[in-house]
Structure 1
Amino acid sequence: MRKLILPIMAVAIILGLYEQTKAKPNIYILIVAIVVFMYGMMQLSARTLHNNNHEIEEESLEEEQDDSERR
């Protein structure tokens, strides 16, 4: 899926930049290019592993253990 998203995003970026160079750019083409690019970025970032998630989970577990010990 990633191999499909990257070329589509590249085409959207190139189309958006080309459309901006015209004297009267078509606003609808620009909007579609931005939406396609943002959707692609959302899909790619959703698949990225975040290193901080593990640390945050550990901290929340430690806080829960501290709270239970205080009771």
Structure 2
Amino acid sequence: MKKLLLPLMILAIAVGLYEQSNDKPNLYIMSIAIVIFMYGMMKLSAKTPSKHTETEEEQDNDN
């Protein structure tokens, strides 16, 4: 999934930047590119552990 998600995000960024450089950018294409990029970032960052969760667990153990 990660191997498919990363190129899709890069493609969405490229399409968004290309569309933004036009004289009259298409709002729908820009919106779809942003949604795809944000969805990809959400999926990729969901696997990153949070530092805040570790400190909560340590505080619970101390009490």
With normalisation by structure 2, the TM-score equals 0.88
- Runs of 5+ unmatched residues, structure 1: 64-71
Which amino acid in 2 is paired with 1:4?
L
How many pairs does the alignment contain?
A: 63
Unaligned runs of 5+ in 2: none
Higher relative contact order (CA 8 A, sep 6+): 2
* Residue in structure 2 matched with residue 19 of structure 1 by the alignment: 19
Give distance in 2, aligned partners of 1:51 and 1:25: 40
Identity among equivalent pairs (%): 52
Q: State the AA in 2 paired with 1:48.
A: T
Please give the residue correspondences for 1:23-62 in structure 2 after superposition, counting only pairs within 5 Å.
23-62=23-62
* RMSD of Structure 2 on Structure 1 (CA): 1.3
What's the CA shift string for 1:43-63, capped at 9, x where partnerless?
000011234422221112323
TM-score normalized by the length of structure 1: 0.79
> Where do 4+ consecutive residues of structure 1 move more than 6 Å?
none
- Residue 40 of structure 1 deviates from its aligned partner by 0.2
